[in-house]
């Protein structure tokens, strides 16, 4: 029997994934078990490509590599310049839609009801700009990003809370279940219509700093902004100033500007993380590293997608490198 092509992985795959690969003629092997022969036969690499792997030091040895498929939704952390042009990069966008959209909604509702600033003093609770409850039902939701996480966040707003949904994407192309979609250039003009804004954009050259003073200054005095995409999509200094100036604007975020790592990920140079109208969490929305059910979905999504690519079928999330470098 001829040796099967190898798909490398940085994390142990569940039996279901190994079986799927075998059924399609591929053998799963851990990067940590790599020998010269393994490397030569590796056609694809599955990785977080963050702490789990030093891609720079090994990429040269993977001479047969055709694709890198990340477990993560974002790929902005990849060393694109070191990856040969003939190696395709595939992200795992979409695999996190449910947990992350659900997490975004937990931030929206917690901020809407002032749960980050609870006090037993009822009159203080309902009169403080930081905790006065906002009603969401029937209001207007704006989503930055209309597929994957953004699409699912829009669906929850529409079906769960009967909101009108404005979608923002690059081209303004319509998206299923979203009432109206506009190109990102129009977002600042439309900001004043939104009661809730959910940002789920990946970080690319184009999205970096896409939400700045022009958008923020047009937001309603009592509105909610939640970011579950990437921190740098919002200009930190502009947001800090707006949150200081208008305490009725509440900001929730699971993603940061990366001035530190580990425990210090939530530190910010402006001190934004300490404002009373900010509710932050340390990049936990995805959940693949602590939830078995999310983990399974994330891994199977990555595995089935890379197999599609290797077989020349319609793979999702083929990354256009020019958006990143």
Closest approach of a second copy to the CB of residue 189, in Å: 26
Closer residue to a second copy (CB): 31 or 265 = 265
Beta strands in the chain (DSSP E): 5-9, 26-30, 42-47, 67-70, 88-90, 140-144, 164-169, 180-183, 196-199, 223-227, 249-253, 278-280
Closest approach of a second copy to the CB of residue 140, in Å: 14
Residues lying near a second copy in the complex (CB under 8 A) are found at 98-99, 102-103, 105-107, 109-110, 112-113, 115-116, 118-122, 125-127, 132-133, 135-137, 156, 159-161, 262-267, 279-285, 287, 289-291, 293-294
Three-state secondary structure call for residue 42: strand
Closer residue to a second copy (CB): 79 or 160 = 160
Closer residue to a second copy (CB): 122 or 313 = 122
Closest approach of a second copy to the CB of residue 252, in Å: 9
Cβ-based neighbour number of residue 8 at 10 Å = 26
Closer residue to a second copy (CB): 88 or 163 = 163
Nearest residue to 175 via CA among 140, 136, 149: 149
DSSP for residue 134: P
Closest approach of a second copy to the CB of residue 142, in Å: 18
Closer residue to a second copy (CB): 188 or 229 = 229
The answer to whether 30 and 6 have CB atoms below 8 angstroms apart is no
Cβ neighbours of residue 124 under 8 Å, at least 6 residues apart?
Answer: none
Closest approach of a second copy to the CB of residue 298, in Å: 12
């Amino acid at each position: 029997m001829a040796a099967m092509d190898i798909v490398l992985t940085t994390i142990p795959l569940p039996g279901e994934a190994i079986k799927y690969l075998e059924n399609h003629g591929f053998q799963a092997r851990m990067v940590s078990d790599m020998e010269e022969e393994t490397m030569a036969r590796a056609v694809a690499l599955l990785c977080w490509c963050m702490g789990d792997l030093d891609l720079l030091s090994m990429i040269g040895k993977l001479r047969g590599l055709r694709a890198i498929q990340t477990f993560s939704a974002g790929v902005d952390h990849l060393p694109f310049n070191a990856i040969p042009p003939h190696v395709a990069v595939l992200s795992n966008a979409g695999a996190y839609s449910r947990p992350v959209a659900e997490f975004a909604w937990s931030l929206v509702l917690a901020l809407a009801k002032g749960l980050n600033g609870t006090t037993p003093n009822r009159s203080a609770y309902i009169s403080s700009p930081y905790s006065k409850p906002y009603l969401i039902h029937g209001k207007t939701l704006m989503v930055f990003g209309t597929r994957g996480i953004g699409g699912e966040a829009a669906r929850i707003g529409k079906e769960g809370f009967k909101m009108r949904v404005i979608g923002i994407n690059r081209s303004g192309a319509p998206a299923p279940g979203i009432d109206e979609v506009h190109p990102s250039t129009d977002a600042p003009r439309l900001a004043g219509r939104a009661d809730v804004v959910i940002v789920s954009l990946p970080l690319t050259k184009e999205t970096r700093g896409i939400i700045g003073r022009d958008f923020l200054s047009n937001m309603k005095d009592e509105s909610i902004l939640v970011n579950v995409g990437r921190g740098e999509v919002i200009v930190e200094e502009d947001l800090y100033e707006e949150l200081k100036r208008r305490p009725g604007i509440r900001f929730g975020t699971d993603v940061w500007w990366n001035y530190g790592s580990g425990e210090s990920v939530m530190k910010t140079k402006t001190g934004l993380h300490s404002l009373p109208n900010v509710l932050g969490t340390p990049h936990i929305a995805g959940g693949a590293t602590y939830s078995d059910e999310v983990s399974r979905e994330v891994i199977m999504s990555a595995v089935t997608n890379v197999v599609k690519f290797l077989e020349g079928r319609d793979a999702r999330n083929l990354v256009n490198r020019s958006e990143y470098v």
